[in-house]
Structure 1
């Protein structure tokens, strides 16, 4: 027997900006179903982000559940310089040069103030300008200039972004600005740091050396080079974001749906939460209703088994942030009631890894399904055992029991409903702790009626950690 329909499994991340930063709107979005709020450090001041952070922490007490807060670092931004006479029209077959000359740009050239590009790029490599709207190919290279052939008609203008899809750039994932933003976000106490421009696992490990466990690191996959190192990056990360915007610029658009499935499958196999992002309900920036294609896009991510789906400008700067969150909730909830969705979750079941934790998580999935248990409780110290349970995509609600910090990190994880319980307050002994977990589940509405059960995974619960015990208790 499956859990009640209203216990939605797929999480919703909503980006906060001018359209949604007021206490009233944040409260509305949380009550509408947002599980995690994203602070986009590409925009806004530290003072603005602190005000948003403080408001979120205050309203979560009203909604009665933990709300995750994700700080998204801007990452390196590669942009051209200024033009003397405004935008320049380029035609297919024209030659145009990028160089390090400080002179203002014209019909033939413009400054590209990134020496790393000149070191890495070679003849035959492409440069993509303005989200790929203008493509150029390098035909001649000098130490500080790249002569290119224009591959399609287009316009280039001041400060347009440049993508380099054909080569890994020797650029750190964290810029000087990112270091300042990162330290500020950690001082606030955010739950997640989203790392942009990840190309290799070393980028993740370097960030983790700075963060030192104070937040989970979410690696944004938006470069072809990241896909080449997918397994290693996922292993090094605490979570993954499928950043389809830049990924779709640097790779053929038709490859992105396949990559999305590959990334989700890899993240699930390695027990890492994965967020699908970018343009999910893009039209709702200006429209109170989505397009049918957008609804199908959200549904596809849910069918793929994503832990979370994300709103960007729709909730940060759009005219209808509340409707965007509500639409996500309706679409996700509808798909999760589909028998085909449940079949896909089971069909894509990952085999248990060779650990007690992984084996017991799979056993809990099977016991919960066979006995029709309504809820499964997991005592956890670091969230890792909860991730092992979630990766099985169980039929029943997963109630995590942890301290404040871990409860907030688990807000992005599929099917998990975090409960904040300080370890010192848990009764010693697995049987007593199991009964306490049952009481929490009953209070939360996860378990109803005397004939329902709850499975509790615990080690010595006072230690809140690894799993080596499974209890079934009757209400």
Structure 2
């Protein structure tokens, strides 16, 4: 056996004609498949020649067997890492996680060993928060994620989160300032010391003072300190605003300021954001999140910037973060313009009545679902696990209810960025997600698992085919859907269907594989470009049996295009029973 091959995968020495054409060797394991993809890309000149196939890569043997197999944790709450590998969970009868899990990177997760564990536990997207750290730190985190992904053998996406026009207290350095309820506090444009009577504060962008009117609220540190604007005046030194403290407390360095009642005219992209966009394009970040979206026009502005600067590399999909009250007034247009949507409950809960946040969450998820956009629910999902090894019952219910609402992905923030128990938090979220979706599937929950309205209204061939896939899966009780999705478009349409079985999406494009990692139910797998659909079907058959994802006689549904690999040409659906040479619905696959 090849010493690079993971336990449970045997490498044969089959000879004879190859199903991938006479010049293409047949990969006998996922290790070989990944290496062959790299060699093919090198031959095409895309990434230069590769000799990785001849090298024993550190940790590869621990991870390939997890490829897309994870995916869940045991009743005891974690994978077995006593020998440095996670469990082969499919062999334990558990299954894939259809809901995707996003982990935020930070000081608690800036080592490759920790990120490897997070991937093994089920993380499929990693968030880099551009509000914290510099470009050197971002490069380090990105290299850790990409290396961990290679080591485990699982494609994962990276989500870059733009800071947006976040306003902060500017003139408090090391010492906190404590304000009491009823006290007067001044904000002014001119530099000032935060001492005296009244306490005088400045903002990181003093131009917002012109947008604030008397009677509006000013919140500091996520609403821990609250003030009411009493008056505003202009003089030779600029605007000066007087506030009365309604809820007192300490104000620390660079604490955030929220102005929920004010109609701010700040641009949606700061100079720092534009530098981050350039960095993201240069480093092939998979998704960009736009913070504090208020109008659909702001999505169009970011897209125009990406198109202008992307060159031949292609623009990055945009995730619209819904965290401002103004966004709800233009939610339908924002959803239509964005590639994905995030319910960012942190600032949303500060700027709006907390009691309305669950209602808003359901509304945003429903809107995203109608337009076929992946939707992420984020913030404080397992907040207590920043300190504690187990979550509260309410937090577990919160994760489950987000999935019942129809979330495609759920996100951990401080739990994995700065928490004491990042791996346990990820394992717990994975377990809740798996059990919740299992329940939805068993109960045939029509609301949570209904297909996107966009599929029913569109006249696109791929959309129609996706609807047909859902019907065939239901009628035949198919175990899996397997699709060739070179750039991810076909997989996106299938994901919109909310199928009750995993969608194995094969591609030879690394960027497409990473981006598909966010899609509900999609299991991206790297595969060399087959010679045609019959070769693809046969390779899929071997893969499913080799990895234990299907048994001989199991019905599977295959989806591809003719010719294979042409973007936008997914036009064929057929049924195959694992281990059989012939396919149903048209006989031969070619």
**TM-score (norm. length: structure 1):** 0.91
Q: Which moved more, 1:82-91 or 1:236-245?
A: 82-91
Against the structure 1 CA distance between its residues 323 and 292, is the aligned structure 2 distance closer, same or farther, given a 3 Å change threshold? same
Kindly state the Cα deviation for residue 112 of structure 1 after the two structures are TM-superposed.
2.9
Per-residue CA deviation, residues 205-240 of structure 1 (Å, 9 max, x unaligned), is 222223233322112111111121111111211111
**CA gap 1:471/1:412 in 2 versus in 1, 3 angstroms:** same
Aligned mate of 1:450, from 548, 553, 557: 553
- Residue 253 of structure 1 is matched in structure 2 by 354
Query: Structure 1 residue 328 and structure 2 residue 429: aligned?
Result: yes
- Give the C-alpha shift of residue 251 in structure 1: 0.6
Give ranges in structure 2 of 5+ residues lacking alignment.
1-89, 308-313, 579-590
The residue aligned with 1:210 is: 305
Shift of residue 407, structure 1, vs aligned partner: 1.1
Alignment of 1:34-49 (within 5 A): 34-49=123-138
CA contact (8 A) 2:128 2:159 kept: yes
SS of residue in 1 equivalent to 2:503: strand
Q: 1:276 aligns with which of 352, 371, 377?
A: 377
RMSD: 2.4
1:200 to 295, 310, 325: 295
Which of 75, 78, 87 is the aligned partner of 2:177? 87
1:123 aligns with 2:250: no
1:140 aligns with 2:231: yes
Residue in 1 aligned with 2:13? none
2:322 aligns with 221
How far off its partner does 1:341 sit?
A: 6.2
Deviating more after overlay: 81-90 vs 154-163: 81-90
Return the alpha-carbon distance in structure 1 between the equivalents of residues 504 and 191 of structure 2.
59
Residue in 1 that maps onto 2:576: 473
**1:315 Cα offset (Å):** 1.1
Structure 1: 4+ residue segments shifted above 6 A: none
Instruction: Give 1:372's aligned residue.
Output: 477
| 1:181 shift after superposition | 2.3
Aligned mates of 1:438, 1:343 — CA distance in 2: 30
Counterpart Cα distance in 1 of 2:470 and 2:262: 43
Stretch of structure 1 that moved more, 453-462 or 271-280: 453-462
Residue in structure 2 matching 1:28, options 94, 102, 117:
117
**Aligned partners of 1:378 and 1:458 also within 8 Å:** no
Q: Check whether the contact 2:382–2:412 (CA below 8 A) recurs between aligned residues.
A: yes
Q: Which moved more, 1:270-279 or 1:409-418?
A: 270-279
Q: Which has the larger radius of gyration?
A: 2
User: How many corresponding residue pairs?
Assistant: 469
The question of whether the paired residues in 2 share the 8 Å contact of 1:100 and 1:113 is answered with no
Larger RCO (alpha carbons 8 Å, 6+ apart): 1
Which secondary structure does the structure 2 equivalent of 1:162 belong to?
strand
Alignment of 1:53-202 (within 5 A): 53-82=142-171, 86-92=176-182, 94-106=183-195, 107-108=197-198, 109-143=200-234, 144-202=239-297
Shift of residue 348 of structure 1? 4.1
CA contact (8 A) 1:277 1:311 kept: yes
TM-score by length of 2: 0.74
Sort the Cα spacing of 1:230 and 1:367 in 2 relative to 1 into closer, same or farther, 3 A. Answer: same
Secondary structure, in 3 states, of the residue corresponding to 2:410?
strand
**Residues 169 and 204 of structure 2 are in contact (CA less than 8 Å); yes or no, is this contact kept in structure 1?**
yes
| Deviations 1:160-199, CA, capped at 9 Å, x for gaps | 3211112332222222222222222322222111221222
Match in the other structure for 1:357: 462
